[in-house]
Chain A
Amino acid sequence: MASLGRKNQSLSRSNQSSDSILSRVSDSSIVRKGKSAACDAAYVAKRLMKSTGKAAWIVATSFIVLGLPLIIEMDREAQLNDLELQQASLLGTTAPQPSFMGPSS
């Protein structure tokens, strides 16, 4: 308990010399406002990053499920069409393929 008392004394002694430049600068209102603005900006930036991350995740997984099979299948269809066009130009017209009708659910 005696050591704590001595620490308090030392602190009060440093507060009394309040004309040290560093403490004056850090106590001024501009710096305080700047600090709180920086805190708010960090908070907003963190929230924005999180929600952008969530949105990016949702968009990416939805694209993988909805868009990717579509792109792949359309590509294959285009390749098949090109092949048929090539064959048709080489041999004359070929018979058209029947279209796919999957098992009805």
Chain B
Amino acid sequence: MATLITPPTAVTAPPAVGSTPAVTEPQKVDYMNLPCPIPYEEIHREALMSLKPELFEGMRFDFTKGLNQKFSLSHSVIMGPTEIPSQSPETIKIPTAHYEFGANFIDPKLMLFGRVLTDGRLNARLKCDLSENLTLKGNAQLTHEPHMSHGMVNFDYKGSDYRTQFQLGNGALFGASYIQSVSPHLSLGGEVFWAGQHRKSGIGYAARYNTDKMVATGQVASTGMVALSYVQKVSEKVSLASDFMYNYMSRDVTASFGYDYILRQCRLRGKIDSNGCVAAFLEERLNMGLNFILSAEIDHQKKDYKFGFGLTVGE
């Protein structure tokens, strides 16, 4: 049975009564007034942002044009080799090129996002605030291949120090998750899902401890996945992240370490993996509204090298 993982806690203790008035007393923990926790699916957010940038291969060009304060269109061209899954250990890459058109509508209460690709795929996302605490989110990916399209709808309810989410997907996928702030720094949560099409169900627990300088999270699921991550903010511009993933069913272990430098003119993320993979992602601001992107990934074990460059125009 999955066990709860709680990272070491250092909850602020209530102050001593006879402390000197010149020293500012540490805040007494108000357990009735805890902050709202991060949504359950974003519990690894900092580690994911630092360690998993969108690495790509080939050339990428994005152009975003805002027609209005709320509405914007985007055009993008992507050219490069794409990998196709193959049984042999050799990686097979086929050069492809496509154009993607997208439209975004952003309102405080409603957000719509759509993308269409030339190979017939459509991505759509919707986020709507039905009331102050209840949010409806939906996303859909449609393809022209049969049985490869899927869609999902989420209902999120945000309480004062908890969040719950209920999920419905196609193929009889049901999921629910709950996360609660237990102290100003620690939040614990759990989730349950049932997939009718594959006749699978699972339960998982997660915990997140964060202070101003660091975030530590742990997650266990009955599908056999154990994921731990730790992000330390070394200074305002630099943070270091590490991640450990273990699958106790398939005995697969991966550890990765990375850095994230957010400087004035650029953002540089680099990571090294226990699978012998070294990757870096650089976004450099050449001018106002003009960003230059470089992506590199070297896999020493499989001898697979991927390099990409791109340009992003527009806000």
Interface positions of A (Cβ within 8 A of B): 58, 61-62, 65-66, 69-70, 73-74, 76-77, 80, 97-105
Contacts and interface: CB of A to CB of B under 8 A. Distances in A.
A62 B272 contact: yes
B264 A77 contact: yes
Given A62-B278, A100-B263, A69 B283 contact: no
A40 to B, nearest CB: 30
A98 B236 CA distance: 13
B300 interface: yes
B264 A100 contact: yes
A73 B296 contact: no
Contacts of B291: 102-103
Interface in B267-283: 267-268, 270, 272, 278-280, 282-283
- For the residues of A in contact with B, the DSSP-based class is helix
Nearest to A70: B268
- For the residues of B in contact with A, the DSSP-based class is strand
A80 B265 CA distance: 10
B300 A58 contact: yes
Interface residues of B, number: 29
Interface centre among A58, A62, A80, A104 (most CB of B within 10 A): A62
Contacts of A73: 261, 263, 265-266, 268, 282
Interface string B289-306: 001001010101000000
Given A62-B298, A69-B294, A99-B262, 16 more contacts: A61-B300, A62-B272, A62-B278, A65-B270, A66-B278, A69-B280, A70-B259, A73-B261, A73-B282, A77-B265, A80-B265, A99-B236, A100-B285, A102-B262, A102-B266, A105-B49
A62 B259 CA distance: 14
B289 to A, nearest CB: 11
A100 B267 contact: yes
A80 B285 CA distance: 14
Nearest to A77: B263
Interface centre among B266, B272, B285 (most CB of A within 10 A): B266
